[in-house]
Structure 1
Amino acid sequence: MSIKPLGDRVVIKKIENEEKTKSGIVLPSTAKEQPQMAEVVAIGSEIDKDEKKKDQLKVGDKVIFSKYAGTEIKEDGKEYTILKFSDVLAVVE
């Protein structure tokens, strides 16, 4: 990937969950809420330099983020979101 976030920004890739109704109908992504869970793809240099933040988040972590946070972009046909470190709410272990 060629996206390198600046400052305290994080690049994430949303994790899509296929959702089915009780009757077995698969709901397309346009018919449901956007996921709030994602995988961290890249981290800005300010996060690595900050002693408090650098141990909290690393590339490959699964995170939960604010619902309407970030800027969505497309790179090589894949969708990514760039958001502030403060918009990351939790790391899923």
Structure 2
Amino acid sequence: MTIKPLGNRVVLQQKKAEETTRSGILIPDSAKEKPQEALVVAVGPGKYTDGKLTAVSVKEGDAVIYKEYAGTTIKIGDEEYTIVSEDDIIAKVE
């Protein structure tokens, strides 16, 4: 199945949450923090403003940081994805 976002939406695949602390203590699933860093999997065509198409500023493969409570989380098979508006992406990670 392929996800094709509409407008200025972006599909993100979150990085995995840390399994252990730096000192080696295992973190239970209930205590893991949801990471805000993700990989861009798919990008919509952009948004029309005053009749002109403005392309999305990120591309597939970019690592990004997004707002904590942004987007809609979906699960396809074993993978979990988050669909966010481009406005919810706050930085690129290089």
Percent identical residues: 51
Gaps of 5+ in 2: 48-52
Q: Secondary structure at the match of 1:86?
A: helix
Aligned length: 89
Unaligned runs of 5+ in 1: none
Amino acid at match of 1:82: I
Change (3 A) 1:22 1:74: closer
- Tell me whether 1:74 sits opposite 2:53 in the alignment: no
Question: How far apart, CA to CA, are the structure 1 residues paired with 2:13 and 2:22?
Answer: 28
The TM-score with structure 1 as length reference comes to 0.84
Which amino acid in structure 1 is aligned with residue 32 of structure 2? K
Secondary structure (helix, strand or coil) at the match of 2:30 reads helix
CA distance in structure 1 between the aligned counterparts of 2:24 and 2:44, rounded to whole angstroms:
42
Distance 1:20 1:61 in 2: 26
Per-residue displacement from partner, 1:43-86 (whole Å, max 9, x unpaired)? Answer: 00116x42xx44x3110000000000000001122000001000
Within a 5 Å distance, the mapping from 1:1-93 to structure 2 comes to 1-21=1-21, 23-46=23-46, 49-50=53-54, 53-54=55-56, 56-93=57-94
TM-score by length of 2: 0.83
Measured on the aligned residues, the alpha-carbon RMSD in Å equals 1.8
- Displaced runs of 4 or more, over 2 A: 17-23
Structure that is richer in helix per residue: 1
